[in-house]
Structures are given as C-alpha cells and as structure tokens.
C-alpha cells in the first residue's frame, strides 16, 4: 500500500472526503516526524512505538575493494510493534 492508497482507505473507513483524509494522513506523518526530530518518541498503545535509535561508529568493508573503512555514527528511525498489533497479525 502506498500513500495514495492509504489516503483512499482512510477516507473510506472514516467516511471523510478524500481531501480531508489526505490532510489527516499528512498531519499524522508530519507530527510523527517532528516529534522524532525533537528527540522524543511516539507511543501508540496497542499499535507500537516510533523512536530514533543511535548507531555507533564501526568498521565496515568496501565490497568492491575489500578495504576496511570507518562508518560514522548515525541516527535512524525505528518502529517497534506493540503486543496487540503483533497478536492481530498471527
């Protein structure tokens, strides 16, 4: 499912106009992104948690040359599914 299909599904499920559903989906995604950028996490009980995790600097290998290289520390977004969500998928 892509973003357009998600908007269509939200509009159908909530009986909203497609324009209103698009605004709601965009607002949700922007809020999650802004919250993570601020260093906080978003926890939706029964669904899961969005958070930023840190990767420490580490050694890697250039696959083309085999040369050892240093990979810089970085941050990456992560999602951990909640128990109710996991159970719903079983």
Task: Tally Cβ neighbours within 10 Å of residue 14.
Answer: 11
Domain tally for the chain? 2
Distance from chain centroid for Cα 39: 14
pLDDT of res. 63: 93
pLDDT band with cut points at 50, 70 and 90 for residue 41: very high
Token pair recorded at residue 12:
């159908």
87, 58: one domain: yes
Query: Across-strand partners of 69?
Result: 60
Q: Which residues of 51-74 are buried (b: 16+ CB within 10 A; e: fewer)?
A: beeeeeeeeeeeeeeeeeeeeeee
Could you tell me if 36 and 52 lie in one domain?
no
What CA–CA distances, in Å, run from 53 to 16, 18, 34, 46?
A: 35, 34, 15, 21
Tell me the pTM: 0.81
pLDDT band, very low/low/confident/very high, at 72 (cuts 50, 70, 90): very high
| Same domain assignment for residues 57 and 13 | no
81 and 57 together in one domain? yes
* pLDDT at 31 (0 to 100): 98
């Amino acid at each position: 499912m892509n973003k357009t299909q998600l908007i269509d599904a939200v509009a159908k499920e909530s009986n909203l106009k497609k324009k209103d559903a698009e605004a709601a989906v965009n607002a949700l995604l922007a809020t999650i992104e802004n919250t993570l950028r601020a260093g906080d996490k978003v926890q939706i009980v029964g669904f899961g948690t969005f958070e930023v995790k840190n990767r420490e600097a580490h050694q890697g290998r250039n696959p083309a040359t085999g040369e050892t290289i240093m990979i810089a520390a970085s941050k990456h977004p992560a999602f951990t599914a909640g128990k109710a969500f996991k159970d719903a998928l079983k």
